[in-house]
Amino acid sequence: MNPSTQAAAGIKTGYQYGFHDEEKLVFKSRKGLDERVVEQISHMKEEPSWMRDKRLEAYRIFKSKPMPAWGDTEFLNAIDFDDIYYYLKPTEKIEGRWEDVPESIKNTFEKIGIPEAERKFLAGVTAQYDSEAVYHRINEELKKQGVIFTDMDTALKEYPDVVKRYFGTIIPSSDNKFAALNTAVWSGGSFVYVPKGAQVAMPLQAYFRINAQKAGQFERTLIIAEEGSKVHYIEGCTAPTYAADSLHSAVVELIAMPGSHIRYTTIQNLSNNVYNLVTKRAIAREDAIVEWVDGNLGSKLTMKYPAVYLVGKGARGDILSCALAGEGQHQDAGAKLIFAAPHTSGTIISKSISKDGGRASYRGLVKVHPQAHDVKVNVRCDALLLDEMSRSDTYPTMEIDSKRVRVEHEASVSKIGEEQLFYLMSRGLKEQEAVTMIVNGFFDQFARELPLEYSVELNRLIQLEMEGSVG
């Protein structure tokens, strides 16, 4: 029995990271949102006036837009926007070295299991604790390559022109209600700039946490990969368990210049009271490649549809999504591929598992504009239902307005085959172990795309989820 399973065995509830520190927070905005809170946020961050104006404009758009009338409206309409804190700042300044980071914060990260910062394969770690970057360190090699990897707040201060040129160009605040909210109150998130031709060998990682009563997480991430560059960014979040609901509404914009390659990996494992409503979108220019690798394991409700807009000839978009919906959870995930240039291609692979009454939905769009010819797209959605209480829905759409294309879509919903189960059990596995093995196999395509320590963590998490759900 490996150490993680030993630790897990002693926990009664399913959620391993259910704890929170005392709220040692320097500043905490009051509950609810109005123009004054937005101005306060901008003021505390000492932002240029154009960003403050952008926030205020976004706030007005947020107020004017109605809640979405589609999706899980029951869950959505339960969000009380006035009952949330929109900004928290744990310490006054950003730490330069891991050694200088406050002890309590280091303990939090240790409990989550973040490896020692000196580990070779970590290029640099920006750790987020309640809305603001606490620790920041960039590795020598990145600096030599001219790669910028920092938090959004710092980026706005140190590279305002670059930020101004790209911020909100992929997801304008009027795009949807939650993009507007994020633009108004964003704090933290990552900024990555990769110059022409730079190939970033190691994945860039960041960790986020929600840690205060009713705190909201509104990180804003912007990644720009210049011509011919390559970068892999990994995001993983965890949050403690609370009785009250938390809102996590992030915006991620990726810009892939000609010939560049961006891969964005997420493992989301928020506690089961969090609303996770995210807008993620990439634009791919000539011969660029964008890959979204998206794992959704936690939260009460996740609504997330990573998108790639292919605007340059020869561009490619691949989206791999996996979701696990357990009791009381709704994973409403999906993907969008929009083709507006010729000789482009893309794939969408979605795998979901529902158990204990959980609900997994796939919502997707493949749209081919008349300007796009010689396009090839493949969509594959597989859903596994582990018991008769659970539910799976798929709502994909294909809008094809061009002739020289090959678009294929296939979806299936099934349960674990009796024969498969019987075979594994006849090999000495208990039913729960067999089911866990099958579930791991179902997600294998996804797990293979993750760096090693993540796939290990994923297996551990799946095991935790499966314990107590069979038998």
Partner 1 sequence: MTLVKAAKLSDIPPGGRAIVLVGETRVILFNTAGKLYAVEDVCSHDEGSLDNGPLEDFDVECPRHGARFDIRTGEATRMPAIAPIRTFLVKVEGDDVLLETNHD
Partner 2 sequence: MSPLSSQGVSDPAVANDRPPHDRHASAALPSRDESWNAYLSASTPLPSSPEWRRTDYSALGLDRLDDSGRRPDPDESELSIVAPPEVSILSLEAALSDARFAAQARRVLEADPVGSYAKIESLSRALAAKDMLVFIPRAAADSETVVRITARSSDGFAFPRFSIFAAPESRAIVLEEHVGAPSDGPSASRTPTVVSFSSLFLGAGAGVKHFYLQDLPMASRAFWRQTVEIESRATLAHASLLLGGALHKSDLAVRLRGTGAGASLWGALMGSGTQKFDFHSRQIHDAPKTQSRLLFNAALKDCARAVYTGLIRIEKKAGDSDAYQENHNLLLSDSARSDTTPLLEILTDSVRCKHGATAGAPDPEELFYVESRGLSPQEAEETLVMGFFSPLLGQIHSSELAGRLEDRVAQKLREGAFP
What residue ranges bind partner 2 (CB under 8 A)?
69, 370, 373, 383, 385-388, 390-415
Shortest separation between residue 367's beta carbon and partner 2, angstroms? 9
Shortest separation between residue 172's beta carbon and partner 1, angstroms? 4
Name the one range near partner 1 by CB under 8 A: 168-176, 237-245, 415-423, 436-444.
168-176
- The residue (of 127 and 311) whose beta carbon lies closer to partner 1 is 311
- What is d(CA 326, CA 300) in angstroms, rounded to the nearest whole number? 9
Contacted entry of partner 1, partner 2, none for residue 311, CB cut-off 5 to 8 Å set by kind: partner 1
- Report the Cα 250 to chain-centroid distance in Å: 8
Which residue do the tokens 């009664």 mark?
12
Name the one range near partner 1 by CB under 8 A: 44-52, 145-153, 368-376, 462-470.
368-376
- Tell me if 371 contacts partner 1 by CB under 8 A: yes
Helix, coil or strand: residue 266: strand
Which residue do the tokens 């769009």 mark?
365
- The residue (of 197 and 396) whose beta carbon lies closer to partner 2 is 396
Fill in the DSSP letter of residue 66. P
Contacted entry of partner 1, partner 2, none for residue 174, CB cut-off 5 to 8 Å set by kind: partner 1
**Contact call for residues 421 and 435 (beta carbons, < 8 A):** yes
Helix, coil or strand: residue 43: helix
Fill in the DSSP letter of residue 298. -
Q: In this chain, which of 77, 107, 169, 397 binds partner 1, going by CB under 8 A?
A: 169
Three-state SS string across 119-185, please? CCCCCEEEEEECCEEEEEEECHHHHHHCCEEEEHHHHHHHCHHHHHHHCCCCCCHHHCHHHHHHHHH
- Give the sign of the dihedral formed by CA 75, CA 77, CA 82, CA 87: positive
Helix, coil or strand: residue 312: coil
- Give the sign of the dihedral formed by CA 428, CA 430, CA 431, CA 432: negative
The pattern of x and - marking residues 319 through 348 that bind partner 1 according to CB under 8 A reads: -------------------x-x--------
**Contact call for residues 332 and 363 (beta carbons, < 8 A):** yes
- The residue (of 25 and 381) whose beta carbon lies closer to partner 2 is 381
- The residue (of 267 and 365) whose beta carbon lies closer to partner 1 is 365
Which residues does 403 contact at the CB level (< 8 Å), separation at least 6?
A: 373
Phi, psi of 320 (to 5 degrees): -120, 120
Site for partner 1 in 280-299 (CB under 8 A): 281, 283
- The residue (of 75 and 166) whose beta carbon lies closer to partner 2 is 75
Contacted entry of partner 2, partner 1, none for residue 278, CB cut-off 5 to 8 Å set by kind: none
Contacted entry of partner 2, partner 1, none for residue 313, CB cut-off 5 to 8 Å set by kind: none
- Tell me if 175 contacts partner 1 by CB under 8 A: yes
Contacted entry of partner 2, partner 1, none for residue 161, CB cut-off 5 to 8 Å set by kind: none
Q: Which residues bind partner 1 (CB under 8 A)?
A: 169-176, 281, 283, 309, 311, 338, 340, 369-371
